[in-house]
Structure 1
C-alpha cells in the first residue's frame, strides 16, 4: 500500500487532558519539525496551558492576540447581520480586520471549566498544526471573561449547509468526492504526520468548511485529543462528540482510538452519497439514524443506486458509486480494528476523484459491469485492510 510513514511516538508523551503541551514548537514564526517533516507536540514545562485555573496559553508568534475592542470593531459590534453561524458552542460572525482581511470570529459560550478547556485546546492545536486542509487560526481574544477565536473566512460555509439547505445548489458527484478527499487528507495529517497523533473526535459535516473552489478544511478542534502512544491502544476519556457520528465502541466505553475518527468519516461519506443527515428526527423512526437505515443498502450492490441523493439526478458513474459505497461500508465496520487506515482511504478516494468528468456522467440507473482495466486500477486503490490492527500509517 502507498501508506505514509508516521514517526515513532515518544513513550513519555501521554494523552493531553487539560494538562501541559509544549508550545515552543513555534519559534520565530516557524514550527519545530523532525527530519521527516512530522510536527512534534511533546509536553514541556516551558509553556503551559492549565485548564483548571482558567489561564490561557502564551502562543508566542503562533497566533495573534486581539483585544475585544478590535474584534467588536471588525464585526460592527457583533451585528446580527454579520452572524453566519451558531450553536451550543456560541456564535460565529463575519468580520473585517483593520488590515482589510475578512475573517470569521467565533464568540464562545463558556460554561465553566469545560468551555474554557475547549478554548485552550483549540488555540493550542490550531497554533501548532498547519495543513492545507485544516482551517487557519489567525488569532484569539482573552480580554476579561471573553473567549473569541479568529479564523480565515471560508466563503462557501459548511458542507452541512450545502448538503441539507434547500436553498443551496446541489453538489455534483465530482465536488462531493473532492470534498471527501480533502477531509480525508486533513485527518491523515492529524493521524500520521503529528507526534503523537491527534484524534479529531468531532468529525461531522458542519465542521467541514469550504472555500470558493469547494476545497474543504476541518474546523473546530475544541474536542481534539492526543492519541495513544507506545504500547497503548486507546485513550480513555469522557464521551464527547455529536450523536450520529460517534463510533459505537467509543460511545459505550469512552475508549478513544484513531479508528473512532474513521467511523465518523464513514458517516460523512454516507451523507455525501445519500444527501441525508446523520440524524433526522423529521423522518420515520426506522429512517432517523442514517447508519442504521443504510446497512441493508451497503450490503447489497444492487441497492446502491437506491440510496443515492436524488438531487444528483443520476449524474455519476455506477462503478464509482460502488467503490465509494465500499469505502464507506469499511469505515462503518462495527469492529474498530476492521476499519481502514486513513492513508488507505485517501488513496482510494483519490482514485475516485481522479476519474474523468465524462465517465462520471454515464447512465447511473442501469446495471453495468466494470471493464477489466477498470477492475485492475480499482484494485490498486482498494482497501486491503480487513483484519488490520492499529499500526503506524
Structure 2
C-alpha cells in the first residue's frame, strides 16, 4: 500500500518537483475563469494569466491553445525541460494541469512583469544603466547554465524581452521554454524545429538550415543587448531594406554611439560641469563595452560569435567598472 501511495500520478510529468497538485477548477477560480482582466500576455501557442490559488499564492498560469499545431508537443517538452532545470535566473515551475481538453503550466509569478513592458509600456518605466546591466548579466547567467552547466545542453530558441521576467527585486528570470530543445552534450550537434524564434531576434542561419544550436541563442542575446542600450526594437519601422538594428549600431560604433543611446540612460543629474564631463566619459566607455559584446554576439556567422561562458565575465567586468565609478 505504501508503494501505491508513493507512486506518481499518471498525469504527472517525470522529473518535476511538484509543490502541490492543482486541479483545473482551482486554476479557474484563481484566474476568475481565465478572465481577460487577469491576462498577462499572449504567446505563440497560448495565453498567460495572473492567478491567486486557494492558499493565496500568486502564480502565472500559462494556458496552451490546443488548436495550434504542435501545442501538445510543446507542452510536454516544456514540462520535461522546466522539471530538470534549477537556477536563480530561470522561472520556476510550480505544477501542471493536463487533460484531453486543457493543458496549463503553473509558474511563479513575477510582480514586475516582463522587460518588454518596462521598455515599451505607454507609461514608460525608467531603467537605470545599472539596472540594465544587472538584467543583461542575469540573462547571461541563465543562458550560461542552460548551454554549459546543465547535464544536457538546452537551447531556448526564442529569447526576447517579453520572455524575460522581473521579480520584486528586479532580478531577471528567463521564461517560456515551449520550444526549447534538449540536446546531447555536443555543441556541434543540431536539432530542427518548425517554430523557431521571433522575427528580429532569430539567428540568420535558422532561415537557411533550420538547425538549432546554442549560438542561435547567443545571436538573440546580442540583439537584446543592443536593444537595451538603444531602446529600439529590432522590428522598429525605422529599419527597412538592408538596414537593421545591428547595422544601425555598427554605423555609429565607436565614434557616434552617444547619438543612438536610449535617452533614459542619459538622465543623470550633475552638480557641476566637471562632474558632468567625468561621468559622461565613464558612461561612454561603459556603453562602448556593452555594444562591443552585443556586436560580437550577433555576428552573422555562428562560429564567430562569443559563447555565453565568455559573455558572463565580460559583463561582470563592465558591472564592476560601473560600481567602482
TM-score tier after normalising by the smaller chain length:
0.7 to 0.9
* Number of residue pairs matched by the alignment: 304
Is 2:28 aligned against 1:62?
A: no
**Candidates 172, 178, 201, aligned match of 1:222:** 178
Residue aligning to 1:310: 263
Residue aligning to 2:230: 274
Distance 1:85 1:177 in 2: 25
Question: What secondary structure, in the 3-state scheme, does the structure 1 residue paired with 2:173 have?
Answer: strand
Residue aligning to 2:273: none
Residue aligning to 1:385: none
Is the contact between residue 162 and residue 168 of structure 1 (CA under 8 Å) also seen in structure 2?
yes
> Where do 1:183-194 residues align within 5 Å?
183-194=139-150
Give the superposition deviation at 1:280. Answer: 2.0
1:188-225 CA deviation, whole Å, 9 max, x = no partner? 00011112211111111110000121100000001101
Distance 1:102 1:357 in 2: 34
Residue aligning to 1:8: none
Give the superposition deviation at 1:102. Answer: 0.7
* Distance verdict in 2 for CA 1:336–1:231, change over 3 Å: closer
Distance 1:182 1:106 in 2: 23
Distance 1:232 1:56 in 2: 35
Structure 2 runs not aligned, ≥5 long: 1-5, 269-279
Worse overlay, 173-182 or 244-253: 244-253
Aligned residues: CA RMSD: 2.3
> Where do 1:1-393 residues align within 5 Å?
58-59=13-14, 62-63=17-18, 64-230=20-186, 232-238=188-194, 240-281=196-237, 283=238, 285=240, 289-297=244-252, 300-313=253-266, 315=268, 317-357=283-323, 359=325
TM-score by length of 1: 0.72
* Distance verdict in 2 for CA 1:200–1:211, change over 3 Å: same
Distance 1:177 1:265 in 2: 13
1:129-156 CA deviation, whole Å, 9 max, x = no partner? 1100000110111133101111101000
Worse overlay, 81-90 or 132-141: 81-90
Distance 2:184 2:259 in 1: 40
Is the contact between residue 68 and residue 143 of structure 1 (CA under 8 Å) also seen in structure 2?
no
Question: What secondary structure, in the 3-state scheme, does the structure 1 residue paired with 2:205 have?
Answer: helix
Residue aligning to 1:51: none
Distance 1:157 1:230 in 2: 34
Is the contact between residue 286 and residue 293 of structure 1 (CA under 8 Å) also seen in structure 2?
no
Question: What secondary structure, in the 3-state scheme, does the structure 2 residue paired with 1:328 have?
Answer: helix
Distance 1:197 1:247 in 2: 18
Give the superposition deviation at 1:125. Answer: 0.8
Structure 1 runs not aligned, ≥5 long: 1-28, 30-46, 48-54, 360-393
Give the superposition deviation at 1:85. Answer: 1.6
Residue aligning to 1:376: none
Question: What secondary structure, in the 3-state scheme, does the structure 2 residue paired with 1:69 have?
Answer: helix
Give the superposition deviation at 1:84. Answer: 1.9
Give the superposition deviation at 1:60. Answer: 6.2
Distance 2:201 2:246 in 1: 9
Is the contact between residue 223 and residue 240 of structure 1 (CA under 8 Å) also seen in structure 2?
yes
Give the superposition deviation at 1:75. Answer: 1.2
